[in-house]
Chains A and B, each alone.
Chain A
Amino acid sequence: QKEVEQDPGPLSVPEGAIVSLNCTYSNSAFQYFMWYRQYSRKGPELLMYTYSSGNKEDGRFTAQVDKSSKYISLFIRDSQPSDSATYLCAMRANTGGFKTIFGAGTRLFVKA
């Protein structure tokens, strides 16, 4: 079993839709949770960063962490064609070094 599971998609939605991207994980020691956006042939860009459980909102993006279920989500409201990219979840523990574990990434297409 992988430490982090993420559906690779692709996920195709119409412009304006609400997008839900998710990851599950198995290591209960993970405390820090990140979402990165990666455009084709570019490096990942940090979108959201959360610590422990709860919600965090930034503009059209909302990150949720449910540690009891080992489940994290990224919601994108009013999706735009420019949101078309691969979204990677990432997480790490507070101890045991600084190793960040990445999900496989979900490819998102927002159709105009």
Chain B
Amino acid sequence: GAVVSQHPSWVICKSGTSVKIECRSLDFQATTMFWYRQFPKQSLMLMATSNEGSKATYEQGVEKDKFLINHASLTLSTLTVTSAHPEDSSFYICSVSSLAGTDTQYFGPGTRLTVL
């Protein structure tokens, strides 16, 4: 499977500030990356799907202006939470896929965001 890293692993920020989370595919050409958020004891909620070099596709109910996604290369995608508020506090996880036939998703270790 693919090796995926996320940075930072944990971030605390003040309300109103913006936070950028990086997702890197270390050994895999990721044509597609996914961003999820997960609240405690709940399952993964898909936020958006991004394909390298094109705009992300956001799930219904996810504010694209608040959660900015950039997938500039086959190994890097970033999620920026703009003007963060306490309700944005969550566990954000990215995954990668080559979108080729039966390939599945490989997840990063996640980033815990706490907004004060």
Interfacial residues, chain A to chain B (CB-CB below 8 A)? 8, 32, 34, 36, 41-46, 49, 51, 88, 98-100, 102-105, 107
Question: A17 CA to B71 CA in the complex, in Å?
Answer: 44
Counting chain B residues whose Cβ lies within 8 A of the other chain, the interface size class is 20 to 34
The closest CB in chain B to the CB of A104 belongs to: B43
Contact between A43 and B110, CB atoms less than 8 A apart: yes
Taking a contact as CB atoms under 8 Å apart, the answer to whether A43 and B107 are in contact is yes
Measured CB to CB, the closest approach of chain B to A21, in angstroms, equals 14
Q: Report which of B32, B99, B107 forms a contact with A44, defined as CB distance below 8 A.
A: B107
Cα-based distance from A36 to B107 in the complex (angstroms): 10
Distance between B34 CB and nearest chain A CB, rounded to angstroms: 8
15 contacts between A and B (CB under 8 A): A32-B104, A36-B107, A42-B109, A43-B6, A43-B95, A43-B108, A44-B44, A44-B107, A45-B107, A46-B107, A49-B102, A88-B44, A98-B49, A100-B104, A104-B43
- Contact at A98–B99, with CB atoms within 8 Å? yes
